[in-house]
Structure 1
């Protein structure tokens, strides 16, 4: 079989990995803003409580005399503020209705705590009501002063976020005007969609990093390879804000964010770029090493069964197409006769995959007796833990396919080759071999890439255990 050339690129890491650990652009400024707001809120709550005690009905009570009750008051208040989203960026910190609701909820919780856990301790009603009223006044006033000061500084050109706009030429001026109306950005530059082409992409991201760009505004219509672009900005530590067109589309990692009256889709950058992916790689390495040691008696038992069942080697090694279309040898326990690959040509007419990209045959005559048992419980896949240790595979990811299958790919299918292949994946826990349409399988792989997180990997691993024991779709 001749091997057609695949779209190979120079070696680079998994699409989801960063080139190095980088703190999210603008994180320090955002952190300082949050710390300032927390301090202002805490001072407001303390001042309100002290003045309420001073002007309220005097009463001898630990609520008014002990510092621990004051700390409880502040802690409950700040916790409610955090859970109410009052420290998030944008209009959240200026949502005074939500501030009043948070303070009211905090006061109610303090009453419940006092009633349930210290019923013998009293606080006068006038102190309680004054504390609530003064907390509302002081907190709203301090936040108003903070916002007014921020606006004055921004009018002087300070405390602004450095951004870069990427959009089509005919939309550039309109979108620049829209961004400048927000009065919190400095437009460091504008470029058309060609800067995101494959040939220019890395140079563009490097240029944005050198400019110190915090956020990139990109019109949705100017992004050709959406999934690639979103991951590239994400791993560069640059927040991407997508300006929608009339045919607004949704990306799984995006959040709705308002630019004036226009809703935009935002894909926020992580605080430290690349940490989640390297956590995945460390998890892969540690778990695969532990499993190899734990399963060593099982490996020996399977090896003996294979030798007794049919002549040939214990392991089956096959060329598979992995990360960035690079070939590697995948390890499996042999489940077929030794000349299985030569016999496949004669069986192509019986292929049960509708579009013919993959080759699947339920009652494949090439499978040995022991091989059927191994496949039923996916035990033939166990040697791929060696591939994980070597860094060629991950525990979870799109399955690496043989050359014969990849040769039949369409251009859109190659996105699955931009991430590390896995022993199991979303495709495998959503039907395994029962999925008889390659496009459906690719859709599941792309869904996995778009929504990937360490938590998703863990859920797939747990589901895999159930699928294996239930023998779902295995043959």
Structure 2
């Protein structure tokens, strides 16, 4: 596992990265449904407004005011429809009470705008009342016709989402399988047991799912091992992952709940553009590290001079760390210890403050120099790792890369943290830094980061890092 040689395994991408940028499976059908609904809603809302103005009692009537109010009303109503999920599939689209509430709210807001911003009202209350009644009738009637038409077309086998079901025989829930078979929303393309997701069969399975243009996969959660891996596999394949309901408790990254029939299915929706978020992370790492290296160059020189004057030895400390997929690389830091620190560590192991001994931490470490204490206090010793980020060995945010000595003490489940690019800072560092005295607690924080990773989470951790460093929280 630990090797300095470049192998096929080391060339595998980060767990969170897709092999290529692609569009979410089934996006066209979903997008067309929303576009058609919005377009027809706009037509019927504007038609209802024209009829209301034509047959209502107008105090003043100018075509310009009528047009501006009609556009405002149309935009306002569609925006409320969208924010209240009335364009989502299934029961959301058929929520007629929600439609009435949304139209009522938009009518009241429009009436308030007319009253507040006009010296004299252009439209009477009867105009607004008539518009409300007509728009409710038109939109609800249209939604009923739209649902009837889509159901008719789907009974013919068209515009269905292609799905695949993975569950072992003993784990299959006949009720839930029959429920999916009855839904004309889906076209079931096949069944398989959980062995199709084993490491030896996984690539073949995903190749088959891609070749069959599968949009969604339903999986029996209790039969699956290496769940975190599989969640990211489906996410990066652009395939929506749904869990067959189970009594077991589980946690899913990026999960939501969608209702099919009368049953809630835990769901991990695929991103609209698969792979874009991770490449954005790498682009941000490259740009940010380049800018910081340039701006901090005088600081580098100053720290180098102080280290040289403080104690004999090199300016930089290089150490082999375990990075992505267990590949060794040289991490760079400003030297904060005496030159023979690694040899002395063997005699200090008995004083290790980490309860499980996976990695070495000692509050009053005698190996640290005077300047080293200051550098560590503000994490200035980590600045050279920006070069590791620049060349792609590390990221600004991610699980910390650990020395070989620490990784050798890993349990089997710990190695999953090596499937993502290591970072200068991470959730562990902003949640206590050196105050954490148990590797399992740090590991749980790393897992929380991997499971819930997003660009926004990275930015949040970076901002918290500056705060933690300035407050010297848990630094030693």
Task: Give the TM interval when normalised to the shorter protein.
Answer: over 0.9
- In structure 2, the partner of 1:271 is 272
The DSSP-based 3-state class of the residue aligned with 1:158 is coil
- In structure 2, the partner of 1:192 is 193
Provide the C-alpha distance between the structure 1 equivalents of 2:261 and 2:70, rounded to a whole number of angstroms. 40
Q: Which structure 2 residues correspond to residues 338-417 of structure 1 after superposition, within 5 A?
A: 338-417=339-418
TM-score calculated relative to the size of structure 1 = 0.97
The DSSP-based 3-state class of the residue aligned with 1:286 is helix
Deviation at 1:4, TM superposition (A): 9.5
Deviation at 1:171, TM superposition (A): 4.2
Provide the C-alpha distance between the structure 2 equivalents of 1:409 and 1:110, rounded to a whole number of angstroms. 63
- In structure 2, the partner of 1:22 is 22
The DSSP-based 3-state class of the residue aligned with 1:33 is helix
Query: Is the counterpart of residue 213 in structure 1 residue 198 in structure 2?
Result: no
The DSSP-based 3-state class of the residue aligned with 2:163 is strand
For the structure 1 residues 3 and 273, does the alpha-carbon distance in structure 2 shift closer, same or farther, using more than 3 Å as the test?
closer
- Pick which of 251-260 and 362-371 moved more: 251-260
Provide the C-alpha distance between the structure 1 equivalents of 2:462 and 2:413, rounded to a whole number of angstroms. 27
Query: Is the counterpart of residue 32 in structure 1 residue 32 in structure 2?
Result: yes
Q: Deviations over 1:312-357 (max 9, x none)?
A: 1111111101111111111100111111111111110000000101
Query: 1:172·1:190 contact (CA, 8 Å) conserved in 2?
Result: no
Provide the C-alpha distance between the structure 2 equivalents of 1:347 and 1:97, rounded to a whole number of angstroms. 70
Provide the C-alpha distance between the structure 1 equivalents of 2:56 and 2:3, rounded to a whole number of angstroms. 85
Q: Which structure 2 residues correspond to residues 146-157 of structure 1 after superposition, within 5 A?
A: 146-157=146-157
Deviation at 1:3, TM superposition (A): 7.0
The DSSP-based 3-state class of the residue aligned with 1:165 is strand
Q: Which structure 2 residues correspond to residues 143-182 of structure 1 after superposition, within 5 A?
A: 143-172=143-172, 174=174, 175-182=176-183
For the structure 1 residues 160 and 51, does the alpha-carbon distance in structure 2 shift closer, same or farther, using more than 3 Å as the test?
same
The DSSP-based 3-state class of the residue aligned with 2:9 is coil
Provide the C-alpha distance between the structure 1 equivalents of 2:401 and 2:268, rounded to a whole number of angstroms. 29
The DSSP-based 3-state class of the residue aligned with 2:266 is strand
Query: Is the counterpart of residue 447 in structure 1 residue 448 in structure 2?
Result: yes
Structure 1: which 4+ aligned runs deviate by more than 4 Å?
2-8
Query: 1:221·1:244 contact (CA, 8 Å) conserved in 2?
Result: no
> Number of residue pairs matched?
474
Q: Structure 1: any 5+ residue segments left out of the alignment?
A: none
The DSSP-based 3-state class of the residue aligned with 2:199 is coil
Query: 1:53·1:64 contact (CA, 8 Å) conserved in 2?
Result: no
Deviation at 1:53, TM superposition (A): 2.0
Provide the C-alpha distance between the structure 1 equivalents of 2:90 and 2:40, rounded to a whole number of angstroms. 18
Q: Structure 2: any 5+ residue segments left out of the alignment?
A: none
- In structure 2, the partner of 1:97 is 97
The DSSP-based 3-state class of the residue aligned with 2:93 is helix
For the structure 1 residues 32 and 3, does the alpha-carbon distance in structure 2 shift closer, same or farther, using more than 3 Å as the test?
closer
Query: 1:8·1:325 contact (CA, 8 Å) conserved in 2?
Result: no
- Pick which of 138-147 and 66-75 moved more: 66-75
The DSSP-based 3-state class of the residue aligned with 2:248 is coil
Provide the C-alpha distance between the structure 2 equivalents of 1:421 and 1:248, rounded to a whole number of angstroms. 30
- Pick which of 59-68 and 415-424 moved more: 59-68
For the structure 1 residues 102 and 337, does the alpha-carbon distance in structure 2 shift closer, same or farther, using more than 3 Å as the test?
same
Provide the C-alpha distance between the structure 1 equivalents of 2:329 and 2:96, rounded to a whole number of angstroms. 59
Query: 1:313·1:334 contact (CA, 8 Å) conserved in 2?
Result: yes
- In structure 2, the partner of 1:66 is 66
Query: 1:426·1:460 contact (CA, 8 Å) conserved in 2?
Result: yes
Q: Deviations over 1:96-117 (max 9, x none)?
A: 0100000000001101111221
Query: Is the counterpart of residue 79 in structure 1 residue 79 in structure 2?
Result: yes
Query: 1:168·1:193 contact (CA, 8 Å) conserved in 2?
Result: yes
For the structure 1 residues 4 and 386, does the alpha-carbon distance in structure 2 shift closer, same or farther, using more than 3 Å as the test?
closer
For the structure 1 residues 190 and 265, does the alpha-carbon distance in structure 2 shift closer, same or farther, using more than 3 Å as the test?
same
Deviation at 1:170, TM superposition (A): 3.0
Provide the C-alpha distance between the structure 2 equivalents of 1:10 and 1:362, rounded to a whole number of angstroms. 35
Query: 2:282·2:395 contact (CA, 8 Å) conserved in 1?
Result: yes
Q: Deviations over 1:77-134 (max 9, x none)?
A: 1111111111122211110010000000000110111122123232122211110001
Provide the C-alpha distance between the structure 1 equivalents of 2:173 and 2:424, rounded to a whole number of angstroms. 49
TM-score calculated relative to the size of structure 2 = 0.96
Provide the C-alpha distance between the structure 1 equivalents of 2:366 and 2:8, rounded to a whole number of angstroms. 35
The DSSP-based 3-state class of the residue aligned with 1:144 is helix
The DSSP-based 3-state class of the residue aligned with 2:362 is coil
Q: Which structure 2 residues correspond to residues 279-358 of structure 1 after superposition, within 5 A?
A: 279-358=280-359
